[in-house]
Amino acid sequence: MANIKELAKGEELFTGGHRACAGCGAVIVARQVLMAAGPNTVVVSATGCLEVISTIFPYTAWNVPFLHSAFENAGATISGVEALYKSWMRQGKYNKKVNFIAFGGDGGTYDIGLQSLSGAVERGHNILYVCYNNEAYMNTGVQRSGATPKGADTTTAPVGKVKKGKEQYRKDLTEILVAHRIPYVAQSVVGNWRDLTSKVEKALSMEGPKFINVFQPCRLGWAYEPEKTCEMGRLSSDTCIWPLYEVVDGQYKITYKPKEKKPVTEWLKMQGRFRHLQKPENKAIVDQIQDFTDKQWELLLKKESLTS
């Protein structure tokens, strides 16, 4: 695995000058994924923050070939690019080794793009799909998604006089991908460059469909100070809100185990989207989130020991 000096010496493949918010985690994902992937990479992006902030015509932040077509179809679109590559290689029309990487936000991946992603990985395309998961539709004004956690305040599941934010737990997309029995599935996070870049390198060393779900703090939708993005990412691992692990050919490996598991209240209190949970009358929701987090973590530990 490349060290930080080696990574930093590489060509800048996702350049500055884009229009992301100060403190945006999505561009950290794009930059670090490309650092690990290198220049022989074609990128497809779903409609979303990353695409909108990076390709305002006539400018582009992508120093690799880049394609965006729509919101719900990054899986199918990268399938098409990879299929053409395969066709040309077979016909002897092309001979370069190329990585095919798709980026989609949680809206474009958990929700509207799930079918397209499922089809792409089921067909076995040699692709890496990276979900930059900021737990809501941030590009369009913080609407709830299937990735939004219980209790979060969003514009389509707002905190009101009766409702206390989102009532449902988020779906477990990573496990949905594990159920596709593809070669590589992982969870990573913004704020842990070594974890993310090594997972990308590992994924790209394998043939077939790969998926990495990268937890991405969003200072706008989560409402925290912009300089705390990486800190927020690390805190999500330390609270086990977002465990870091990988599943290689069905075998689970937790890649980060906090020495001391912090309570979820440490996590919740940093964010405006959970502000209402500070009120004593909402303590039951906080307890439910802690209970949910504990159970998920215990289950993951069991999966690791079961498959080791």
Partner 1 sequence: MGKSNIVARTGNEAMAEAMRQINPDVVAAYPITPATEIVQIFASYVADGLVDTEFVPVESEHSAMSACIGSAAAGGRVMTGTSSQGLALMAEMVFIAAGLRLPIVMADVNRTISSPINIHCDHSDTMMIKDSGWIQIFSENAQEGYDNMIQAVRIAEKALVPVIVTTDGFIISHGMERIEILDDAEVKNFVGTYKPENYLLNFDRKITVGAIDLTDYYFEHKRQQIEAMKDSKSIISEVGAEFGKKYGRSYGLLDAYKLDDADIAIVALGSTAGTAKVCVDNMRSKGIKAGLLKPRVFRPFPKDEIADVLKNIKAIAVMDRSDSMNAAEGPLCLEIKAALYDKGVKNILLNYVYGLGGREIGLGDLEKVYNDLAEAVKGKAKDKINYLGVRE
**Closest approach of partner 1 to the CB of residue 72, in Å:** 7
Provide the residue type at 68 as one letter.
H
CB 143 within 8 A of CB 49: no
Question: Which C-beta is closer to partner 1: that of 1 or that of 84?
Answer: 84
List C-alpha distances in Å: 297 to 103, 258, 306: 27, 11, 14
| 40 is a site residue for partner 1 (CB under 8 A) | yes
Of positions 73, 99, 188, 237, contacts partner 1 by CB under 8 A: 73
Residue 289: C-alpha distances to residues 39, 239, 282 (Å): 41, 11, 11
Q: At 3, which amino acid appears? A: N
Question: Would you tell me how many other CB atoms lie within 10 Å of the CB of residue 84?
Answer: 12
Q: How far is the CB of 51 from partner 1 (least distance, A)?
A: 7
Q: What radius of gyration, in Å, describes the C-alpha atoms of the chain?
A: 19
| Cβ atoms < 10 Å from Cβ of 137 | 25
Pattern 74-113, partner 1, x by CB under 8 A: -xxxxxxxxxxxxxx-xx--x-x-x---------------
Distance CA 274, CA 99 (A): 39
Smaller CB separation from partner 1, 211 or 215: 211
Residue among 14 and 193 whose Cβ is closer to partner 1: 14
Q: Given the complex with partner 1, which of 63 and 255 has the nearer CB atom?
A: 63
Give Cβ neighbours of residue 302 (< 8 Å, ≥ 6 apart).
none
CA distance 103 to 50: 8
Q: How far is the CB of 88 from partner 1 (least distance, A)?
A: 7
User: Quick one: 76 or 138, whose CB is closer to partner 1?
Assistant: 76
Beta carbon nearer to partner 1, 30 or 190: 30
Half-sphere exposure of 213 (CA within 13 A, CB side): 27
In the bound state with partner 1, the residue whose beta carbon lies nearer, of 94 and 298, is 94
111-130 residues near partner 1, rule: CB under 8 A: 115-116, 118-119, 122-123
Work out how close the CB of 273 gets to partner 1 at its nearest, in angstroms, rounded to a whole number: 27
Tokens in use for 27? 């561009």
User: Where does this chain touch partner 1 (CB under 8 A) — which range of 47-55, 165-173, 210-218, 261-269?
Assistant: 47-55
Binding site for partner 1 (CB under 8 A): 39-40, 42, 44, 51-52, 55-58, 60, 62-70, 72-73, 75-88, 90-91, 94, 96, 98, 115-116, 118-119, 122-123
